[in-house]
Amino acid sequence: MLEFKTLGHGETAEKPSRRLANGLEQSMRVITIEGFARCKPESDDYRGYIHSGDAWVFRFIIESEDLFFRHQLPNVIDVFKIDPRQIYKLVLHGSPGQGLYDVRLFVSFEKRQPPSESQLEKLQLAAPNAETDNSDDRLDGLFIEFLKTETIAVKRKLREALRNHKPTGAGHRGRSPTTGSYIHFGSRTAQYGSIVRVQWEDELSPRLADWSNANWMLAEALRSRYDPRKIVRMDFRAIPETEHLYSIGVDIVVEPPVRLCPIRALCKKAPPRPKGALIGKTLVMTAASVDPMGDLTEFDRGFRVEFNNLPLGDRIRFWQRNVARFFTSGATKNPSHSLTQPRLGRATRP
């Protein structure tokens, strides 16, 4: 289903459109202006680029957030044959107890080539099962670190626990609170809660790793109060004048009182970092390709595959019950610091 509207600052207004040869309607234009109001008229400095494209808004319902990020969103990119950076906004809405299901996907089609009817019809077909990309997945990265540092006896015991793990579903609804800043009406009853919003910036988004990282961080911060069905909004917004940087935000309803716990992201057996060892010395760095799984044994690699094959909710529960105790929050006070990777800097779009 398609919606052709002008969107901005919480308001919607219908925009006259013209028919194309294929029977579809052309949407509004999206103009990105680099160096906005920064250059003096007499200056010869570089002003940046001005990008334009046809803005299309796609509306649809999903049955599973995990399935959407794992297979369906990559399939949309493949069917439209677009650069993922052409997705300039993605918003998923939901309601407490049901999770996210109502999606708005904003795409800027450059070169004035909107999708054809045949491409749109392909989106109604089940997405093929693509190979899962675990790059930048914090759960996967921390699990690899755990495999590298723990003894074979500990890993054998936990692998046996993993094989005996029984799916527990999305979680328990819990009791109904009586106070809060969020009110949800359903089945003639009112449920109250507080909204906790987590926000960070990441590159190469939106993708499966963002959904996994958001749930892992919320599970660590909320512990027993975490329930993925209570996530009511997740949004991705492309930041202008960057190559592929996105602002990501997640809203979840939490029963009051809200207490945020520290994020356990530092392995207790990791070698200590040297203090002051590089002061006054010249550091020579050589670029090399490093395989993060280079030190893993065949047993470790099989254990990792079994762990990553669990549904996201079960991965997080297994992590909290069995693996998180081997990690500590250390000196990390801000939960968002444990999620994002160091950025190499912002690059303007070509």
The pLDDT tens digits for 202-238 are 988 899 999 999 999 999 999 988 999 999 999 999 9
The pLDDT tens digits for 175-200 are 344 445 556 555 555 566 888 898 99
Q: Is 202 helix (H, G, I), strand (E, B) or coil?
A: strand
As a residue count, the chain comes to 350
C-alpha distances in Å from residue 155, one per residue of 139, 150, 269, 273, 299: 16, 7, 14, 25, 9
- Spell out, as residue ranges, where the chain has pLDDT lower than 70: 1-27, 47, 111-112, 168-192, 272-292, 331-350
Q: Is 242 helix (H, G, I), strand (E, B) or coil?
A: coil
How much of the chain is in helix, strand and coil states, percent to nearest 5? 30, 25, 45
Residue 313 token pair: 């909710």
Residue 232 token pair: 């009511």
How do strand 266-267 and strand 327-328 relate by DSSP bridges? antiparallel
DSSP state of 335: G
Domains of the chain by residue range: 2-122, 138-271+294-338
What residues contact residue 56 under an 8 Å CB cut-off, 6+ apart? 2, 4, 27, 106, 107, 108, 109, 114, 115
Looking at residue 9, its pLDDT comes to 34
Q: Point out which residues pair with 52 in neighbouring strands.
A: 31
**Closest Cα to residue 22, out of 93, 110, 117?**
117
